[in-house]
Amino acid sequence: MRSQFRHVALFGKYHASAQGGALETSRSVLDDVAQFLTRQGCEVVLDQDTALHMGLNQYPMLKMAQIGQQCDLGLVIGGDGTMLGIGRQMARYALPLIGINQGRLGFITDIPIQSYQEVLQPMLQGSYQTEDRSLLQANVVRDHREVFSALAMNDVVVNRGGTSGMAELRVEVDGRFVATQRADGLIIATPTGSTAYALSVGGPLMHPAIGGWVMAPIAPHTLSNRPIVLPESSEICIEIVAGRYVSANFDMQSLADLTLGDRIMVRRSEHKVRFLHPAGWNYFDTLRKKMHWNEGV
């Protein structure tokens, strides 16, 4: 059987592969996957940045917007960080993405590179599961003017700089005052991001099908200040009341040196990231493997 996906885009992990043997390995993997896709009847294109950094000029290359408009599948080869970046950019085009894990954890790049051919072949023929993941839309407002805007698939993090002292953050949810928090920072995480930074500060794991956000303080001054799960429909406002060198991070996108009075507005994006998983995939298998549950049992 031929692939039901005709026009497939390849995205690679080139940022961490800029030197020596790592670059050659990544280039070889991408070329191998491209040849496999061609044998399945797919027309393969490479993301322009991947092609230029990897030196793979034997394949057509397209810019991100062109991929979103012209392709019907994206194949991301790398780790979760690579998928976060591609997912944010492709969400507006509703381009379905499959992740082949060439990184360490692989919560959202769930196909092992060693067995990608046997897993990918039935998926290309239509045997897969579809899953949509929510995104956060964050805007930074200063003196009633928007100075920064970003999407986040994992989390929005407001935290103090490297100096001593806490940040003081006034938090509102849907226009209602919640608390003024004194802490090292505050995390607003999606269910996808609940296995990332939010988990390390004591936040709960959230199943991706749950429509909600985790709001978790980082090293709060008051120990009763605990993580809370909020409805996905909520709009959260974080205002900088006090603190030096406070910054904000939106996945891997940073805005340094927020000033007093800045307001970080966080709400649900109108876009979602669409993942395709192998048939039979379930979230608990991923957790059990990645969190090392049941080891020694």
Nearest to 216 by CA among 164, 155, 267: 155
Our answer to whether residue 80 is catalytic in this structure is yes
Amino acid at 286: T
Judge whether 43 and 7 are in contact, CB under 8 Å. Answer: yes
Judge whether 44 and 8 are in contact, CB under 8 Å. Answer: yes
Under the phi-then-psi rule, with left for phi > 0, alpha for psi from -120 to 50, and beta for the rest, what region is 257? Answer: left
Instruction: Please give the DSSP secondary-structure letter assigned to residue 79.
Output: -
What is the CB-side half-sphere exposure of residue 200 using CA atoms within 13 A?
7
Handedness of CA 30, 115, 190, 196 (dihedral sign): negative
Instruction: Please give the DSSP secondary-structure letter assigned to residue 42.
Output: P
The active-site residue out of 32, 47, 80, 132 is: 80
Query: Whole-angstrom Cα distance, residue 93 to residue 18?
Result: 29
Query: Whole-angstrom Cα distance, residue 76 to residue 109?
Result: 8
For strands 247-250 and 236-242, give the pairing: unpaired
| Residues tagged active-site | 80
